[in-house]
Structure 1
Amino acid sequence: MWVWVRGKYETRLAIAAGFSFFYAVVRPSVVNPSTGRMKKAVEVQVFTWKWLLILFFVVVINEDSHGQQLSINKLGIVWQDSLQWNSFAAFPAKVKLAILVGDPRKPAPYLVRVKVPLNEKIMPHKHPEDRVYTVISGVFYIGIGEVFNESSLQAYPPGAVIVLPGNTPHFHWARSGEYITQVYAIGPLGLEYIDSKYDPRVTSTEKHDE
């Protein structure tokens, strides 16, 4: 049976359990079960099952966090290296989104992360839902208003928390490098550009119709 193991720590557990399993299960069948040998094999077998149990709980705890978002109504853990970054139709192609908790399409709490590469801009837009931003990495630039204005951009370092009331026009620019923000809100997630010419959903539809 193949088990997907996430992360370096769990990989070490898997390797240790694998070697112990070999010596505890395979070795006793080929050695002479005489004095000392059998006792040693039994000791190794106990060691094996201890590590297998630990590995089992590690895999079970992380099962939901590998390759899928967590539910808001049960205990779970999301690990940085298990995030799946995907394109989002309302964002420019280079901007990526990862869903951590919940389903942004539903009227329920959700938690997402947004990764914006250097020099990428997200033009003035608004969301119907109230949002809480947490800067994870890089410098987060946000400006308030219906027109992109470089001079009105405010820079926020990692750890900063920004509360943005629903329907507040705003814009972003990865001015100094890639940044990642975490967004908490109550869905469904909505995004409306102030000027539809900046909406990738509109431009992609126009290209499709041509």
Structure 2
Amino acid sequence: MKKIIACVAIGLMSWVGVVAADQTNIPSHVMLTPSAMKWGAPPPVFPKGASFTVLSGDPSKAGIFVIRLKMPAGYKIMPHWHPTDEHVTVISGTFSLGMGEKFNQSMMKKLPVGGYARLPAEMRHYAMAVTPVTVQVEAMGPFALTYVNPADDPSKHAANK
């Protein structure tokens, strides 16, 4: 029994040491005012017309990231999926989400300011800005968006021009 307790204690101390070591790699805090947010074009996988800012993390790398996406009224993101869960919060405007492999506006749910959605990894979904809208997205990187219909991928159209 003493050997078991000793092994558990050694294992726990080793785990605490690893956790403590990992704490040194945590980046400093992030606090941004709206005027400090740097907006620009989103990745080419999004249709033109939106703007994008990274609040924390790096969507191109492994790890958690938080971004915001501003879209004009009528902006659509066709059916797609992500390899990780996606958490979406509506910051301003009205945003509609639908589930499935075909864009069907009548099946979409409108989310007003403060609305939230968690979309599990690989869930096929689509979106539309009902009004000018800003959403905040939190997910694990690296960010990837795969369209159900490859012809809907704007980055493929840009590559062919």
TM-score (structure 2 length as normaliser) = 0.80
Partner amino acid, structure 1, of 2:91: I
Residue number among 77, 81, 101 corresponding to 2:56 in the alignment: 101
CA distance in 2: counterparts of 1:135 and 1:72, whole angstroms: 27
- Match of 1:148, SS state, is coil
RMSD: 1.4
Q: Say whether the 8 Å CA contact 2:76–2:129 is kept in structure 1.
A: yes
Q: Say whether the 8 Å CA contact 1:129–1:185 is kept in structure 2.
A: yes
Q: What residue is the counterpart of 1:82 in the other structure?
A: 36
TM-score (structure 1 length as normaliser) = 0.62
Q: What residue is the counterpart of 2:77 in the other structure?
A: 122
- Match of 1:186, SS state, is strand
Partner amino acid, structure 1, of 2:70: K
Residue number among 157, 161, 186 corresponding to 2:116 in the alignment: 161
TM-superposed CA distance for 1:161, in Å, is 1.7
Structure showing greater Rg: 1
Q: What residue is the counterpart of 1:191 in the other structure?
A: 145
- Match of 1:89, SS state, is coil
Report 1:65-80 matches (<5 A): 73-80=27-34
Partner amino acid, structure 1, of 2:156: V
Q: Say whether the 8 Å CA contact 1:72–1:102 is kept in structure 2.
A: no
The alignment covers a number of residue pairs equal to 136
TM-superposed CA distance for 1:158, in Å, is 1.0
Q: Percent identity?
A: 35
CA distance in 1: counterparts of 2:45 and 2:37, whole angstroms: 20
Q: What residue is the counterpart of 2:126 in the other structure?
A: 171
Determine which structure has the larger helix proportion and give its number: 1
Comparing 78-87 with 123-132, greater Cα deviation is found at 78-87
- Match of 2:160, SS state, is helix
Determine which structure has the larger strand proportion and give its number: 2
Q: What residue is the counterpart of 2:107 in the other structure?
A: 152
TM-superposed CA distance for 1:73, in Å, is 2.2
TM-superposed CA distance for 1:167, in Å, is 0.7
CA distance in 2: counterparts of 1:72 and 1:96, whole angstroms: 28
Residue number among 138, 143, 149 corresponding to 2:93 in the alignment: 138
Question: Following superposition, which runs of at least 4 residues in structure 1 exceed 2 angstroms of deviation?
Answer: none
Deviation sequence 1:34-53 (CA, Å, 0-9, x none):
xxxxxxxxxxxxxxxxxxxx
Q: What residue is the counterpart of 1:201 in the other structure?
A: 155
TM-superposed CA distance for 1:72, in Å, is 6.1
Deviation sequence 1:122-162 (CA, Å, 0-9, x none):
11111111111111000111100100001111001111221
- Larger relative CO (CA 8 A, sep 6+): 1 or 2? 2
